[in-house]
Amino acid sequence: MLLIQCPYCGPRPELEFAYAGQAHVARPADPSATTPDQWTEFLYLRNNTRGIHAERWRHVRGCARFFNALRDTTTDHFLATYRAGEPMPVLPMGQKP
């Protein structure tokens, strides 16, 4: 089981959290001007990164708030967590998602 650092509550066990998919997927600003290919990108296409993945989690059985995390999907090691709306943190080794 993962130990996840909620940026509001501190470290908590994985059971308190819900995974919420890839982070920083922005909804198209002007829906009526959005093409089917752009909708496909927004709705369905995902990076599915093998390596450092920026993703959303929700502390659903705690503070209930969404936040973002950087996690290495080859080790499940969390590199950083940060609040929604904050920019993606710069990692000490310079790794990028």
Partner 1 sequence: MRKFSGWTLLKEAFGGQQGWTPQWRRVAPQPEYDAIIIGGGGHGLAAAYYLASEHGITRTAVLEKGWIGGGNTGRNTTIIRSNYLFDESAALYDHALKLWEGLSQVLNYNVMFSPRGVMMLAHTVHDVQVAKRHIHANRGNGVDNEWLSPEEAKAYCPPLNIERNIRYPVLGAALQRRGGTARHDAVAWGYARAADALGVDIIENCEVTGLVRDGSGAMEAVQTSRGLIRCRRVGVSAAGNTSVVLGLAGVRLPLESFPLQALVSEPVKPVVPCVVMSGSIHAYISQSDKGELVIGAGTDAYTSYTQRGALHVNSHTLSAVCELFPAFRRMRMLRNWGGIVDVTPDRSPIIARTPVPGLYVNCGWGTGGFKATPGSGHLLAWTMARDEPHPINAPFTIERFRDGHLIDEAAAAAVAH
Q: 97 near 72, Cβ under 8 Å? A: no
Q: How many CB atoms lie within 10 A of CB 51?
A: 13
CB of 9 to partner 1, least distance (A): 18
Contact set with partner 1 (CB under 8 A): 1-2, 14-15, 17-19, 21, 36-37, 39-41, 43-50, 53, 55, 71, 73-76
The minimum distance between CB 55 and partner 1, in angstroms, equals 7
The smaller minimum CB distance to partner 1, of residues 7 and 69, is found at: 69
Q: Which residues contact 97 (CB under 8 A, 6 or more apart)?
A: 47, 49, 51, 52, 53, 54, 70, 88
The sign of the torsion formed by the CA atoms of 16, 19, 25, 31 equals negative
Considering the complex, state which of residue 27 and residue 44 has its C-beta at the smaller distance from partner 1. 44
Q: How far is the CB of 80 from partner 1 (least distance, A)?
A: 16
Q: Is the dihedral of CA 9, 12, 17, 23 positive or negative?
A: positive
Nearest CB to partner 1, comparing residues 18 and 90: 18
Q: How far is the CB of 87 from partner 1 (least distance, A)?
A: 22
